[in-house]
Amino acid sequence: MKVLSKESHKKLKSVLSILIPAVLLVGVFLIPRFLGERASEFYSRFIFPVVSLPGNIFSGLFHFSLTENVIVVGSIIGLVLFIVFVFMIIKKALYSGGAIRFAVRVISVVLIIALVMSAVFQLMHGINYRRTPVVEKLNLVESDRSIEQYKEALYWAYLGMVSARSQMGQDQYGVSHLSSGFEELTGHANYLVDSFSAQYDLGMSTNFVRAKPVALSIYWSLTDIVGVYDPFLGEANINTGYIDAKSFPLTVCHELCHTKGYAGETDCNIIAALSCIGSTRADFRYAGYYFIFMDLYTVVYNYALYNGGEVPGYLKSSNMLPVLRDMQASSNYWKKIHNMFMSEEISAISESANDAFLKSNGQEGTVTYKVPDNVFLDFYLTYVQEADIM
């Protein structure tokens, strides 16, 4: 009986070593879903800046992407450890015994590591999904708008875009380029996002975050992803495979938005675009107005297409020619990427993984990258048109 009691105790201990961290892991994953919007907003405004500060400082000490190095080195180490694990399991099963106990210990350790990583993720990103959406803070609630109002806002975005583009330098092919190096651009992007947050009381972290260029961007481009926020290191990583002047500044602002307390893709696209158009730099204004123009142009174009109206003629204007050259240069780059080996398969896997990731955090998937049609129109009517009247 005494021997049986010891065996039962060992079995119970083995079960608990897996069950307890597994239950805690599920709990950590689910807790943010039960937080109310007010509690999440309080956390994002007042606690997140403190929690994220050590990571922001540590990451800022390095000019290269820590995330990229961790992924490359970690993948190699992980593969080696997996091979060792399989070898040990086979060895113990065939010769020395204790394969099950060894597997239990390894699974227990893996669950504990996953538990810690899940807790860090929730503190650095997950809870921020539940905060008050930007559209509500800016009072950009969806309402009935006329197509004439959309056309007026589209004209505003068009003027801002072509005006900014005319002030930018360009290469021998007539394609625009940024007016400074990566470090200066990152500093200005921090300033813009902080300023926009302060102006509209968005409650974002004011920690300085050094965005990082990724050395292996040419391969990263196969995923069709241009920026990634690493919540474990508090690091914004930017794809520099092609520095597209019409979108690159907005991408940097978007990823910095994640590091400063907003997790939602819609929120970060809105904040990034509206932050950019308030810049003193033409390249940032160009990226912001380009994003807004394309968003509003799609609405007006589709309305004309399905209701028999007049299609906007902006794409045929002479002022638009420099923008069209930029668009063509960007298209040429992505065509080369999409012609690379396994590009379609990698892109599809990336899209599915990103969609699943967003849905696991209570979002609607990759559709959240799309800004609702009314947002930039309502911003124009509320903050631009009224300011002009006053």
Do 202 and 349 reside in the same domain of the chain?
A: yes
Domain that holds residue 43: 2-130
The string of pLDDT tens digits covering residues 217-265 is 999 999 999 999 999 999 999 999 999 999 999 999 999 999 999 999 9
Q: How confident is the model at residue 386 (pLDDT cuts 50, 70, 90)?
A: low
Q: Could you say which of 130, 161, 195 is where a domain stops?
A: 130
pLDDT digits (tens, 9 = 90+) for 124-160: 999 999 999 999 999 987 778 899 999 999 999 999 9
143 & 260 share domain? yes
Q: Which of 101, 130, 159 is the last residue of a domain?
A: 130
CA distance to 13, 15, 45, per residue, from 10 (Å): 5, 9, 47
Same domain assignment for residues 79 and 107 = yes
| Contacts for 341-349: CB closer than 8 Å, 24+ residues apart | 342/222, 343/222, 346/222, 346/223, 347/222, 347/223, 347/224
Q: Quick one: pLDDT at residue 1? A: 43
My answer on whether 10 and 89 are in the same domain is yes
pTM assigned to the model? 0.93
One domain, residues 16 and 157: no
Q: Identify whether residues 143 and 110 lie together within a single domain.
A: no
Kindly state whether residues 110 and 222 are assigned to the same domain. no
- Shared domain check, 168 and 32: no
pLDDT of residue 170: 96
Domain boundary among 130, 154, 169: 130
Same domain? 121 vs 181: no
Mean pLDDT of the region 22-39 = 88
Give the number of residues written for the chain: 390
pLDDT digits (tens, 9 = 90+) for 261-302: 999 999 999 999 999 999 999 999 999 999 999 999 999 999
The reply to whether 142 and 77 lie within a common domain is: no
Query: Do 226 and 365 sit in the same domain of this protein?
Result: yes
